[in-house]
């Protein structure tokens, strides 16, 4: 066999090497700053037990600042509308925690 006959085969192999059929792109996404931990505060445990099954902490922390009554209404909405299994006894602690956290300066959260 002449050397010329194997040359095309080598070229094809080389072409395969440099041009794979599938190219994977680096598709990274940038998540917003996400405070994964709830800050310390009275009632934190009640929130962890009753709320974080459905929400990341940031969902709750990134709410507009609202009144105590509004938080009571939100927790009630979770119970009634979304069937959240929240212990009624825990509601004051949960509401107290949310009000407490929202009263802290942004940087401390």
Name every residue whose Cβ is closer than 8 Å to that of residue 68 and which is 6 or more positions away in sequence.
95, 99
| Minimum distance from residue 33 beta carbon to ligand HEC (Å) | 18
Q: Are 42 and 29 in contact (CB under 8 A)?
A: no
CB of 49 to ligand HEC, least distance (A): 9
Is the CB of residue 102 less than 8 Å from the CB of residue 91? no
User: Does residue 97 contact residue 47 with C-beta atoms inside 8 Å?
Assistant: yes
| Complex with ligand HEC: residue 86 or 99, whichever CB lies closer | 86
The nearest distance, CB 67 to ligand HEC, in angstroms, is: 13
DSSP 8-state code for residue 88: G
Residue nearest to ligand HEC (CB): 51
* Binding residues for ligand HEC (CB under 6 A): 50-51, 53-55, 60, 63, 74-75, 77-78, 82-84, 86, 94, 98
- Nearer to ligand HEC by C-beta: 55 or 65? 55
């Amino acid at each position: 066999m002449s050397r010329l006959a194997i040359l095309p085969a080598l070229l094809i192999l080389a072409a395969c090497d440099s041009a794979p059929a599938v190219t994977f792109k680096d598709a990274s996404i940038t998540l917003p700053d996400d405070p994964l931990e709830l800050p310390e505060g009275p009632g934190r445990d009640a929130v962890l037990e009753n709320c974080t099954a459905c929400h990341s902490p940031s969902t709750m922390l990134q709410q507009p600042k609202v009144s105590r009554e509004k938080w009571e209404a939100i927790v009630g909405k979770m119970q009634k509308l979304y069937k959240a299994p929240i212990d009624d006894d825990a509601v004051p602690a949960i509401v107290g925690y949310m009000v407490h956290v929202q009263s802290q300066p942004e940087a401390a959260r």
